[in-house]
Chains A and B, each alone.
Chain A
Amino acid sequence: MPQPLSATNDFVVKFANVNGSGSASANQLFAKSILRMGIPIASRNIFPSNIQGLPTWFEVRVSGEGHLGRRGGVDMMVAMNPQTWDRDVAEIDAGGYLFYDSTKPMPASKFRPDITVIGVPLTELVNAAYKDARQRQLFKNIIYLGALSALLGIDPVVIETLLSEQYKGKEKLAKSNQDAFHMGRNWAATNLPPIGLKLEKSDKVGDRIYIEGNAAAGLGAVYGGATVCAWYPITPSTSLAEGFEKYAKRFRTNKDGTKNYAIVQAEDELASIGIVIGAGWNGARAFTATSGPGISLMQEFVGLSYFAEVPAVIFDVQRAGPSTGMPTRTQQSDVLSAAYASHGDTKHLVLFPEDPRECFEFGAAAFDIADRFQSTVFVLLDLDIGMNDWLCEPFAWDDSKRMDRGKVMTAEMLEAGRDFGRYLDVDGDGVPFRTYPGTHPTKGAYFTRGTSRDRYAKYSELGSVYVDNMERLLRKFETAKNYVPHPVEKKASRTTPYGVLYYGSSSAAMQEALGALEQDGIHLDAMRIRAFPFHDDIQRFVESHDTVFIVEQNRDAQLRTLVMNECGIDPAKLVPVLHFDGTPITARFIRDAIGRKANSVEVVPLRKAVP
């Protein structure tokens, strides 16, 4: 047997549970208690498309170093689901630990010789203490939390405090949970030897917050001034609209009970985006939240928004798909269907937040951008950022900031004799003025349609008029390059021919991989893309390196295609690093993939291979 793993503040615990068994609450307590001890964690749910009965996992990566990506591998498995026992046991790293309910004896063949097995008779304990079936089920989770706290060294006071906070005003419930917790803790302290995985109080969390990206984006929409939300339920985006509702209810309800917002659960995604576009046309800030299948359904309307120049915001929480099953897994696979959505020549503004903090920030900024450019703005989250709680910088807001409503011609401006052409490029930036319906009794009204109109919104099917408009739309897109969030560059410690581009939820794993690759002797300049259209710095970055890796969570290297297409880059220069099995990308994966590819590039330098 290998030496049992020994680590302090640096290990991965995975909980294997049955969906609907009430384990989520206990697992959250486990995660939060470690945070309260000042130790950074990254937690992830791996869940089925199901409400009750199917397997579900919760993974907590403890990282004193502060790595927030998924690490890969499991040091301790809390195996609470007989259905997945075999694969759960198989997944434990050699030398790792298996924590299980030992009430019912298991044959030796069900274990592995190279791991440490920790049995706690959970069912026996819970049956002895409780009569009610549901209580037995729920408290079993709290009992294993107690046992784990003893094994790993979680401060019991922290758990007690968390339980008091959770059951504020329901002291009886708090007390019974605390009792169950101590029952597990005492049993473990009395009956189990210490193990090699340890938690020690630290100060590495700072003032960071722990929240999921969907809620953060919903909050961003409140701060961004969104007043109309139309949506259709779809995993993994549902909690975004619900987040907006929760925060809008809290912050936007007037004293008389009336609401400074409207939420419509529409009949489908077509109606959702139609409502958003109608509201945007009429001067309200509006959004919808959806996922890939919704994006497919919204294509026609997104094109209308582009040509009719109507602001709209679409939060797309990306997932694998289609159908049921993989949709509860994460991917970055809507990049192209968002950037080039719809029929005709169209391109759209796309934002790529890296974590909940940026979900909030971009969630608010998207409405300024949409108003400024009178077009659809996609905010591309994914299931990993959207539905998992992440440790991130606290939200911040500048109170001097005002909404940028873009170029809106008012009644006063019309009255003063300003020339109003709805599609007239008055400033040379491709962005025309618009009027809200009902602005002025005799001036400023126009008829909104797709492409067949001239600069003054008069109907026209002339080719030259169409071309004139299409070229202006390109100018507008060009203007947007500098307005959308700029890319963030991180230079290697020494000059290097290698660069790497990445975006969205790959960021945390990428940061960690950069450090690891440096240890391997592979130095990379890194650039995180935060928006489309691409800022000129992205082109410069690619041009100034011999080889640029593009790290993505999809099969077809969609961002690479977009970079090639939009920046006119030689495909041979852009090496894809692709992770698309539905689990979040890991630093180990990036390190291995880039390591391997960098070494093979060393053997046949591209400059020589490509004449």
Chain B
Amino acid sequence: MSYLKPALKHPSLPKNALGFTRRDYEGSISTLCAGCGHDSISASIIQSVWELGIEPHRVAKVSGIGCSSKTPDYFLSASHGFNSVHGRMPSVLTGANLANRDLIYLGVSGDGDSASIGIGQFAHLMRRGVNMTYIVENNGVYGLTKGQFSATSDKGSKAKKGAINTDEAIDLVAMALQLGATYVGRSFSGDKQQLVPLIKGALSHQGVALIDCISPCVAFNNHEGSTKSYDYVREHNESVNKLDVILGRSPIAASYAPGEMTEVTQHDGSVLRLRKLHDDYDATDRVAAMNYLARHKAMGEIVTGLLFVDPEAQDLHASLGTVATPLNQLNDASLCPGSSALEKLNAGLR
């Protein structure tokens, strides 16, 4: 059972640009297991939206089914949320986005929801470039049904009961890059320093943004032999860059050697300031990113960071040429051609 938290707030809580405290972005109390990676992601989402100074009701949260998909109840309770059906968050969110292009869309899904039952919708959403942030809370296992392998489980990874996964893993980051996603990141629920800026950049991005966030399942996939455990991910995590998201121009505080830092300005004016951790990584080159990821995956690394961004991204509304006014706000006069048009039409059908 979830329930509301007490409304009592400490008077000296810090406020964002709009005067909201972090508490204004929280949700019901989580019903997930203690230590679940998903709860850390929820906390990072709250932190990101608070820091960006987005009015909480301007976000629409959509999810599918599974542990991950339950989490939208646990953040942003002033936002409308939709817990839809298994694997179908992408289509529901696409429809919602078509209806009102002015809201900020956050889709939360899991590895079962997106890489198994929902892989078709995942793929086609990426292709269409729906303006949204798509977070996959990836733990490599089915939690609510108690420990079956999911499609992102690595080949050779061991289940809690000892079975070895013999199927090749689906890499959602590689798929998203191939299918045209315009903002692609991978992170780890245990690394809030990395995750919060990634989410902020994604929410500011005017196209489809995927964050594949490895999020260990403490109940069913956090043991020796699992490649999605806290220990394993910490040991193999290779971050290619460090991201800061800057709203409006602000001077660069630290000085960097040439080539160490790149800046990417997105459509909404936000600036993605990327400090390179690996010399040969360029996050604005899709093909190079795909090659790098494939090479380093073969070396057993889990490459994280902002892996690709196209600052010139366009979204589905641009492809369709829809009017700037949200479709759900158009009135009778804009929608109904009326009787005189019908008379002319009738005349042509005789």
Contact = CB atoms under 8 A, between A and B. Distances in A.
From B81, B96, B98, name the one whose CB has the most chain A CB atoms within 10 angstroms: B98
Contacts of B96: 278-279, 281-282, 437
A227 B95 contact: no
Given A278-B62, A279-B98, A402-B332, A264 B128 contact: yes
Contacts of A258: 321-324
B91 A225 contact: no
Interface residues of B, number: 62
B77 to A, nearest CB: 7
Given A227-B330, A395-B342, A459 B28 contact: yes
A274 B62 CA distance: 12
A459 B1 contact: yes
Interface stretch (B82-90, B197-205, B256-264): B82-90
A304 interface: yes
B328 A436 contact: yes
A82 interface: no
B250 interface: no
A308 to B, nearest CB: 8
A227 B84 contact: no
B335 A227 contact: yes
A223 interface: yes
B82 A278 contact: yes
A48 to B, nearest CB: 27
Given A280-B95, A282-B96, A223 B2 contact: no
A219 B102 CA distance: 28
A277 B103 contact: no
Given A208-B350, A252-B334, A284-B98, 9 more contacts: A209-B349, A222-B335, A225-B335, A227-B335, A254-B323, A259-B322, A260-B323, A282-B99, A442-B57
From B317, B320, B335, name the one whose CB has the most chain A CB atoms within 10 angstroms: B335
B73 A445 contact: no
Interface in A184-228: 205, 207-211, 219, 222-223, 225, 227-228
Nearest to B104: A438
Interface string B304-329: 00000000000011001111100110
A179 interface: no
Nearest to A165: B348
B95 A278 contact: yes
Contacts of A261: 322, 327
A274 B98 contact: no
Interface in A224-256: 225, 227-228, 230, 251-252, 254
B332 A301 contact: no
Interface string A257-294: 11111111011101111111111111110100000000
A438 B103 contact: yes
B321 A282 contact: no
Contacts of B324: 258
Nearest to A268: B120
Interface string A327-363: 0000000000000000000000000000000000000
Interface string A433-470: 00111111110011111100000000111000000000
A228 B99 contact: yes
B88 A270 contact: yes
A604 interface: no
Contacts of B57: 437-442, 445
A398 interface: yes
Contacts of A412: none
27 contacts: A219-B345, A222-B337, A227-B335, A228-B99, A261-B322, A262-B320, A274-B84, A274-B92, A275-B92, A277-B84, A278-B82, A279-B98, A280-B95, A281-B99, A282-B100, A284-B100, A301-B85, A396-B342, A397-B339, A437-B80, A438-B58, A438-B80, A438-B102, A441-B56, A441-B78, A448-B81, A459-B2
Contacts of B94: 230, 264, 271, 274-275, 278
Interface in B37-60: 55-58, 60
Contacts of A274: 84-85, 88, 90-92, 94-95, 121
Contacts of A252: 334-335, 337
Interface residues of A, number: 73
Contacts of A276: 95
Interface in B258-288: none
B121 A270 contact: yes
Nearest to B327: A227
Interface of A: 35, 205, 207-211, 219, 222-223, 225, 227-228, 230, 251-252, 254, 257-264, 266-268, 270-284, 286, 300-301, 304, 308, 394-399, 402-403, 435-442, 445-450, 459-461
Given A284-B328, A402-B332, A227 B99 contact: yes
A447 B72 CA distance: 9
B79 interface: yes
A400 to B, nearest CB: 10
Nearest to B340: A399
B68 to A, nearest CB: 15
Given A397-B339, A402-B332, A283 B320 contact: no
A275 B346 contact: no
A274 B324 CA distance: 23
B121 A301 contact: no
A282 B99 CA distance: 6
B124 interface: yes
Contacts of B339: 396-399
Top-5 shortest CB links A-B: A278-B95, A274-B91, A284-B99, A437-B80, A283-B328
Contacts of B82: 278, 281, 308, 447-449
A301 B98 contact: no
B112 to A, nearest CB: 16
Contacts of A435: 80
Interface string B105-123: 0000000000000001101
Contact of A395 (B95, B321, B345): B345
B341 interface: yes
B85 A304 contact: yes
Contact of A262 (B79, B322, B345): B322
From A251, A277, A398, A447, name the one whose CB has the most chain B CB atoms within 10 angstroms: A447
B93 interface: yes
Given A270-B91, A284-B328, A441 B55 contact: yes
A363 B1 CA distance: 42
A265 to B, nearest CB: 10
A205 B346 CA distance: 14
B338 interface: yes
B253 interface: no
A35 B350 CA distance: 8
Given A260-B323, A261-B327, A395-B345, A442 B78 contact: yes
A260 B335 contact: yes
A517 B291 CA distance: 77
A54 to B, nearest CB: 29
A262 B88 contact: no
A286 B121 contact: no
Contact of B321 (A257, A270, A449): A257
Given A397-B339, A437-B80, A210 B88 contact: no
Contact of A437 (B1, B79, B88): B79
A247 B225 CA distance: 60
A278 B328 contact: no
B99 A286 contact: yes
Contacts of B98: 227-228, 262, 264, 275, 278-279, 284, 286
